[in-house]
Structure 1
Amino acid sequence: MENETNYHGGYGHGNKRSFHRSGPTSRPQNKVCIYWQSGRCNRDPCMFLHELPSEHQTQIQDPSTSKRPHRQNLVWTNPAILGNQSKWGLGRHRDDIHNTNANPGRLNGAVGTSGGGGDRVCKFFLTDSCTFGDRCRFKHSWSMGDGFSLVTPLEGHEKAVTAIALPSGDKLYSGSKDMTIKVWDCKTGQCAATISTGCEVGCMISEEAWLFVGIPDSIKVWNTKTGMEMTLPGPVGQVYALVAANDMLFAGTQDGRIFVWRFNVATSCFEPATTLLGHRLAVVSLVVGGGRLYSSSMDNTIKAWELSTLQCIQTISDHSNVVMSLLYWDQFLLSCSLDNTVKVWFTNNQEQLEVTYTHTEEHGIISLSGMHDEQGKPVLLCSLNDNSVHIYDLPSFNERGRIFAKQEIRAMQTGPTGLFFTGDGTGELKVWKWSTN
């Protein structure tokens, strides 16, 4: 019995079905090439359409008429403040907010693998192993997208950059697992000083002239103007997160506790205040907003604490893996997790956090940072554990660019005049800038 060959050249498995083959240049009517839609078709000519029929274009541009079921809760609107337009323009047309699939495939497959080069970045370039050099059909670049560019790399750390801070206008501080803090001159881009910490830096923040550095079992404190230095004991294990608010310093530690110190103006010292208990595993992120302290942990939870009473008022268990980073922005709390999601939260009428939108990635998300671009539009930077940072417009979550690195980008920080900074697992620190050019 003659074998039956299917449309793509495979073989049947006992089912006697007849297949009508078209000629090499004929195209199935109105059939759009799925590989073209994802930017991966390398056939010329292709038997499928490399354009969207007009009826499909109308459906995509107008979600209200699309046959595809819409995802729910895509509008980041707090019912308690409905009718008030927020800074993120949440009062815009529904199309602008709901169409999270705009420009499908624009940056999909951004790292080159096969097929035509186009605007894809060479994956071998990212690992210093491309042998084609200038003849490579893929881009040799650390980023792709519009509106931002690499200013300069800052090299000097021998291990992963874990923290970045800007305590003054002309100095940049970076902490690393190589047990050092480097001070960079923002005018020259040169390393002005190297401070030995004696152990790995877990986190670092700046508050006015103060620089706080989390290390195992303590916190190092420097006043960058007076040179005063002190050590705050108490934590057990590595300090992974720091935040300051209301003359208090909060530190999230490896054993799941949050240590609190109050600043005494008379003595210019930080005095122990209390310890917040509740997380079962390490506290990896802290953020303050709306009169509350929010903490996330390796126990997959987020806790909300009233700043006035330091009491826990809510525990959230919506994430299914470690909640790596928190960001509070314009009445919204954003959380990211190794469960591949970014969740957007608002406070409902019962003063409880509630999810209003969930964005999903293909990889775990390890850090969040937010800023405004050169035109004043809000953008979100999401660092993924595939060694990339995805950059999104808010609130639509339309992707506008990516940044690549040799290893995970674990530290991100925003600066003045459109500058932002990334530090990766190899120890390299990069300076980026938003620009209209």
Structure 2
Amino acid sequence: MASTLTASCFSKIKTSSTMKPKLKVKHEYISVGGNRHPGAADWDQYNYTDVLAFGADNNIAFWEPLDPKKEGIFQLLSGHSAAVNVVKFLPGDNLLSGSDDKTIRLWRLILGSDGIGLFRPIKCVDAHQSSVKCMAVLGGSDIFVSGAADGTVHIWRLDGDDIILLQAISLSPKYFPLALSLARLDDKSYVLAVGGTRNSIQVYTSKNDEFSLAATLSGHEGWIRSLAFTKELDSDDLLLASASQDRYIRLWRVHQGLDLPASRAADPTLGILGKSLSNKAHRFEVNEQKYSVTFEALLLGHEDWIFSASWHTSDGKLQLLTASADNSLSIWEVDPQSGIWMSVARLGDVSAQKGSTTATGSTGGFWTGLWSPEADAVVSLGRTGSWRLWRRGEQWTQDVGVSGHTGEVKALSFAGHTYMLSTGFDQTTRLHAEWERDGLKSWHEFSRPQIHGYDLNCIASVDGTRFVSGADEKLLRVFQEPAAVADMLHRLCDIVLPDGPLPDAANIPVLGLSNKTIEDAADEENPTPAPHKAVYDLSHPPLEDQLARHMLWPEVEKLYGHGYEISAVAASEDGRFVATACRASSIDHAVIRLYDTRDWYEIKPALRAHSLTVTAMEFSYKNEFLLSVGRDRQWALWKKNKREEWGLGFSNPKAHARMILDAAWAPPCAGLVFATAGRDKVVKVWEVGDEEVQCVTTITAEHPVTAVAFHHLPICDSPILAYGLETGGIVLCRLRPSSLEMMVSFQMDALLAPSKAVNQLAWRFGNLGNTYLAAASDDTSVRVFNVDVCAICGVNLDPDYNSDDE
């Protein structure tokens, strides 16, 4: 970034409002998991911003790990159409990204007239014939390198706003590059290291901007996952670190001159390994200068694949950070007396004690490790998509990171005005709430109630302490909040403690899918000790290891009856009834089953009207009606009589031209009114009368409508409707109080909206009069927007406003 741009300037992105002038919308909270790829993240070392960027599905997320306010992810940058595998900062406000969509994109931070900076797309090139997997950049140079699954490495030059291909290298023998590193040999030439799906490393050197193979370094016994060049502090030599799936890091020395440097390859302490520690010199010549590459040292200590290696100089010492699938980060430095490289710090878990000894173990290990610009902190990304942060002090201490889903987020549900639950295809359910302390507020993940073995499709909060979730299995599961989590939410989020007894905590028994209370899970053959009280006695939101192991909710009921995967669930406002549905291709299976939450018995008979999958359901205010919509293009309105028996009141078999994907009830002040949203690119508003239900308003959208939600808070007398699109767009509408005609609508700025289909929307009233709109999306994100609803209520008073301009 330019010298005038500081971290505080960059952080202004967090308060940016990019909607229409009369409507103020900003991100209150973004939760998203990082992509499991060693190169999919970078902590800006050039531009003095303290900002970390990482791939999150097809987006790029921005987070300031050392932010004292701990506000988490503050921007998601969309543009790629597939998963982002590589992110690299460059000097001069530039950012490069590579993706499974085969493209490389150049982004630039541009300051607006208000002093707010936002990354904007500058250039996109079709870089390769297959997924871009790795990239190497070099500060002070306009050259960068990309590698892809098509078995090629491309050399590029960044020329202002343009990206120019200089050379395409076909790797021979053909293999897929997974790691690249670029360094300067002198003022005119570069050295490039390439590693991937073979055991050796290829070294290329440049002459007149043309790279050619100079040496092949052998010794590793597994694929090469990371390469990193650095300049040695007390000499002009280059050191190359190579990290491999063979669990070892090798250091290589690039030396100028005919003489060979002294090497520690023959260190007697390494002889027991029986490894090939050959000190063979690989010689080459560049610009009439002689060079050699020799093996320098073998670093051992990790117990599983090593995914990343990165250098940094701290306190005059050269240090190497490595991240491994054994759930640990290691910091290495050379001992000045013996010259032997040693691990001076080990962060994370000891895998042998945690039961994870492979790259597909219970926690999956760390996929990348990054230094902060000042080397006063390090971060790591794990299989669960969560970032862990450690700060350097007298000892390394763990601090609050960020977390999120790594699969499509299919559903969310607010528990009254307290916390929010989200669930999706990463097979987890997560609880999000506002952390309140010292006048500051920020959203975080506070519990992971459910870690499942099936993709999760739907969720509904029954009351403040229970929820029901449905997955790709034939049953639904009911969970009860444990006392330890309730107490933590009370202390950190000011959420009122529930009345009545609660279970203490929960564990998952071995080979089980059902969360059991500690007492139920423990027996003589399988003792399950209760977690120590200190695990829950926290002064900050739980860290990732605590979320993954100690924040489960016990399962208290299973709801049976359906024959196929669960598709939808809804709970009544008073928590008395739960309605469920499953995927279906006939009327026999497209039934809705009702359960009484007092005893969890099914209320017979099942409700029959739909002939295909029921996609969404919602109870009306005071639970008088149950609204259901389905793939058969119809809606059905079920009515409860005085004997609490449910029957079909109204239905419309041809309500939409294509399948209906969502439905929502309007607030009581509008009367008995509901909206349906369909793949036919239409939102319809219906009014329920004594004899019939009429469509009073039809809102046409540009794309299929996948989610709809009414604002239920008493802000103004006009119903306010939000609907989400298959493309990720979100539109806010105000309806006329009497006729329910649309008065005005707003298209949410693409910089704020999701980049893939919106699966569910939900409103909630926040503190200090704030109104929150939450969105769950296929781009793996959960977003909470702070919406100025009063602006929507009064926007028609502006004579200069054009309601058709979206």
TM-score range, shorter chain: 0.5 to 0.7
Residue 345 (structure 1) aligned with residue 555 (structure 2): no
Distance change >3 Å, CA 182–CA 309, structure 1 → 2: farther
Kindly state the Cα deviation for residue 153 of structure 1 after the two structures are TM-superposed. Answer: 11
Q: Quick check: 2:467–2:478 contact (8 Å CA) kept in 1?
A: yes
Q: Quick check: 1:333–1:345 contact (8 Å CA) kept in 2?
A: yes
Residue 283 (structure 1) aligned with residue 566 (structure 2): yes
Kindly state the Cα deviation for residue 347 of structure 1 after the two structures are TM-superposed. Answer: 3.0
Residue 259 (structure 1) aligned with residue 455 (structure 2): no
Distance change >3 Å, CA 232–CA 264, structure 1 → 2: closer
Structure 1 outlier segments of 4+, above 4 Å: 151-155, 170-183, 191-196, 348-351
Kindly state the Cα deviation for residue 275 of structure 1 after the two structures are TM-superposed. Answer: 2.0
Matched pairs, number = 267
Kindly state the Cα deviation for residue 419 of structure 1 after the two structures are TM-superposed. Answer: 2.8
Kindly state the Cα deviation for residue 322 of structure 1 after the two structures are TM-superposed. Answer: 0.8
Q: Quick check: 2:30–2:74 contact (8 Å CA) kept in 1?
A: no
Structure 1 residues 173-202: Cα deviation after superposition (integer angstroms, max 9, x where no partner) = 79999588999xxxxxxx955574221101
Unaligned runs of at least 5 residues, structure 2: 1-21, 34-55, 63-72, 77-402, 437-443, 487-550, 585-589, 738-795, 797-806
Which of 452, 455, 458 is the equivalent residue of 1:238?
A: 455
Query: 1:310 matched to which residue of 2?
Result: 600
Residue 205 (structure 1) aligned with residue 413 (structure 2): yes
Q: Quick check: 1:236–1:255 contact (8 Å CA) kept in 2?
A: no
Q: Quick check: 1:215–1:239 contact (8 Å CA) kept in 2?
A: yes
Mapped partners of 1:293, 1:341: distance in 2: 21
Higher relative contact order (CA 8 A, sep 6+): 1
Kindly state the Cα deviation for residue 404 of structure 1 after the two structures are TM-superposed. Answer: 2.4
Kindly state the Cα deviation for residue 311 of structure 1 after the two structures are TM-superposed. Answer: 1.7
Which of 724, 728, 751 is the equivalent residue of 1:423?
A: 724
Residue 358 (structure 1) aligned with residue 644 (structure 2): no
Which secondary structure does the structure 2 equivalent of 1:278 belong to?
coil
Residue 322 (structure 1) aligned with residue 322 (structure 2): no
Query: 1:85 matched to which residue of 2?
Result: none
Mapped partners of 1:313, 1:255: distance in 2: 21
Distance change >3 Å, CA 380–CA 412, structure 1 → 2: same
Paired residues for 1:25-424 under 5 Å: 171=28, 192-194=74-76, 196-207=404-415, 208-216=417-425, 217-225=427-435, 227-246=444-463, 247-268=465-486, 270-289=553-572, 291-299=576-584, 300-314=590-604, 315-329=606-620, 330=622, 331-348=624-641, 351-360=644-653, 361=655, 362-372=657-667, 376-395=670-689, 396-415=692-711, 416=713, 417=715, 418-424=719-725
Mapped partners of 2:423, 2:727: distance in 1: 20
Mapped partners of 1:179, 1:281: distance in 2: 31
Distance change >3 Å, CA 370–CA 351, structure 1 → 2: closer
Kindly state the Cα deviation for residue 338 of structure 1 after the two structures are TM-superposed. Answer: 1.7
Mapped partners of 1:230, 1:355: distance in 2: 39
* Identical-residue share of aligned pairs (%): 13
Mapped partners of 1:172, 1:381: distance in 2: 27
Q: Quick check: 1:261–1:271 contact (8 Å CA) kept in 2?
A: yes
Distance change >3 Å, CA 182–CA 220, structure 1 → 2: farther
Kindly state the Cα deviation for residue 350 of structure 1 after the two structures are TM-superposed. Answer: 5.9
Which structure is higher in strand share?
Answer: 2
Kindly state the Cα deviation for residue 252 of structure 1 after the two structures are TM-superposed. Answer: 1.4
Structure 1 residues 409-435: Cα deviation after superposition (integer angstroms, max 9, x where no partner) = 112222233432111110111122234
Mapped partners of 1:223, 1:245: distance in 2: 17
Mapped partners of 1:174, 1:430: distance in 2: 21
Kindly state the Cα deviation for residue 320 of structure 1 after the two structures are TM-superposed. Answer: 0.9
Mapped partners of 2:648, 2:60: distance in 1: 38
Distance change >3 Å, CA 382–CA 174, structure 1 → 2: farther
Kindly state the Cα deviation for residue 235 of structure 1 after the two structures are TM-superposed. Answer: 3.4
Q: Quick check: 1:260–1:275 contact (8 Å CA) kept in 2?
A: yes
Query: Which of the two has higher C-alpha Rg?
Result: 2
Which secondary structure does the structure 2 equivalent of 1:198 belong to?
coil
Q: Quick check: 1:175–1:201 contact (8 Å CA) kept in 2?
A: no
- Under a length normalisation based on structure 1, what TM-score does the superposition of the two structures give? 0.54
Which secondary structure does the structure 2 equivalent of 1:398 belong to?
strand
Distance change >3 Å, CA 223–CA 338, structure 1 → 2: same
Kindly state the Cα deviation for residue 261 of structure 1 after the two structures are TM-superposed. Answer: 0.9
Residue 434 (structure 1) aligned with residue 434 (structure 2): no
Q: Quick check: 1:421–1:432 contact (8 Å CA) kept in 2?
A: yes
Which secondary structure does the structure 1 equivalent of 2:617 belong to?
strand
Which secondary structure does the structure 2 equivalent of 1:309 belong to?
coil
Kindly state the Cα deviation for residue 241 of structure 1 after the two structures are TM-superposed. Answer: 1.5
Distance change >3 Å, CA 313–CA 293, structure 1 → 2: same
Which secondary structure does the structure 2 equivalent of 1:357 belong to?
strand
Kindly state the Cα deviation for residue 154 of structure 1 after the two structures are TM-superposed. Answer: 8.1
Q: Quick check: 1:211–1:224 contact (8 Å CA) kept in 2?
A: no
Distance change >3 Å, CA 279–CA 196, structure 1 → 2: same
Mapped partners of 2:25, 2:485: distance in 1: 38
Distance change >3 Å, CA 193–CA 275, structure 1 → 2: farther
Structure 1 residues 127-162: Cα deviation after superposition (integer angstroms, max 9, x where no partner) = xxxxxxxxxxxxxxxxxxxxxxxx87989xxxxxxx
Kindly state the Cα deviation for residue 384 of structure 1 after the two structures are TM-superposed. Answer: 1.6
Mapped partners of 2:644, 2:413: distance in 1: 29
Mapped partners of 2:662, 2:57: distance in 1: 21
Which secondary structure does the structure 2 equivalent of 1:340 belong to?
coil
Q: Quick check: 1:178–1:200 contact (8 Å CA) kept in 2?
A: no
Which secondary structure does the structure 2 equivalent of 1:220 belong to?
strand
Mapped partners of 1:336, 1:427: distance in 2: 21
Mapped partners of 1:414, 1:337: distance in 2: 19
Distance change >3 Å, CA 263–CA 327, structure 1 → 2: same
